[in-house]
Amino acid sequence: MFEVIFLQFLNGLDKGAAYALIALGLTLVFGTLGVVNFAHGALFMLGAFCAVLFRQLITLETVTLDPTKLSPWGSPLEIREPLVQAWFGDFGAVLLNYSVLFSILLTIPVMLVVGIALERGIIKHFYKRPHAEQILVTFGLAIVAQELIKSFFGPNPIPQPMPTDLRGAADIGAFLGMQANVITYPIWRLIYFLFAAVIIGGVFAFLQFTTFGMVVRAGMADRETVGLLGINIDKRFTIMFGLAAVVAGMAGVMYTPLLPPNYHIGMDFLVLSFVVVVVGGMGSLPGAVAAGFLLGILQSFASMTQVKDLIPGIDQIIIYLVAVVILLVRPRGLLGRRGVMEA
Partner 1 sequence: MLTMPRNDLLLFLGFAIAVLTMPIWMAPFGAAYPDLLQRFMIYGLFALGFNILFGLTGYLSFGHAAFFGVGSYAAVWSMKLLTIDALPAMIFALIISGIFALAIGYVSLRRSGIYFSILTLAFAQMSYNLAYSVLTPITNGETGLQLNINDPRYLDRMFSAATPSVPSPTMLGLPLTGFTGFYFCAGFLIIAFFIAQRITGSPFGMMLKGIKSNQTRMNYTGFNTRPYTLAAFVISGMYAGLAGSLLAITDPLAGAERMQWTASGEVVLMTILGGAGTLVGPVIGAWLIKYFENIFSAINENMLARFWDFLPDGLDHAAVVVSAKFVGEGWFLTLGLVFVLIVVFLPGGIMEGVRRIASWIDRNRKSTPKSASPKTQPAE
Which residues bind to partner 1, rule: CB under 8 A? Answer: 36, 122, 125, 129-133, 135-137, 139-141, 143-144, 147-148, 150-151, 155, 267, 271, 274-275, 278, 282, 312-313, 316-317, 320-321, 323-324, 327-328, 331, 341, 343
- Least distance (Å) from partner 1 to the CB of residue 300? 16
- Least distance (Å) from partner 1 to the CB of residue 140? 4
- The answer to whether 77 touches 207, Cβ cutoff 8 Å, is no
The DSSP 8-state label assigned to residue 1 in this structure reads -
Contacts 24+ apart (CB under 8 A), 300-309: 300/8, 300/9, 300/11, 300/12, 300/15, 301/8, 301/12, 304/4, 304/8
Going through the chain in order, the beta strands assigned E by DSSP cover: 61-70, 76-82, 169-171, 184-186
Pairing of strands 169-171, 76-82: unpaired
Rounded to whole angstroms, the Cα distance separating 23 from 18 reads 8
Q: Which amino acid is it at 332?
A: R
189/332 with CB nearer partner 1: 332
176/329 with CB nearer partner 1: 329
- Least distance (Å) from partner 1 to the CB of residue 53? 17
69/330 with CB nearer partner 1: 330
In this structure, the dihedral spanned by the alpha carbons of residues 45, 48, 50 and 52, taken in order and rounded to 10 degrees, is: -120
- Least distance (Å) from partner 1 to the CB of residue 314? 9
Please enumerate in sequence order all residues whose Cβ is within 8 A of that of 314, keeping only pairs 6 or more positions apart, or say none: 302, 307, 308, 321
78/133 with CB nearer partner 1: 133
- Least distance (Å) from partner 1 to the CB of residue 28? 17
7/288 with CB nearer partner 1: 288
- Least distance (Å) from partner 1 to the CB of residue 224? 19
186/261 with CB nearer partner 1: 261
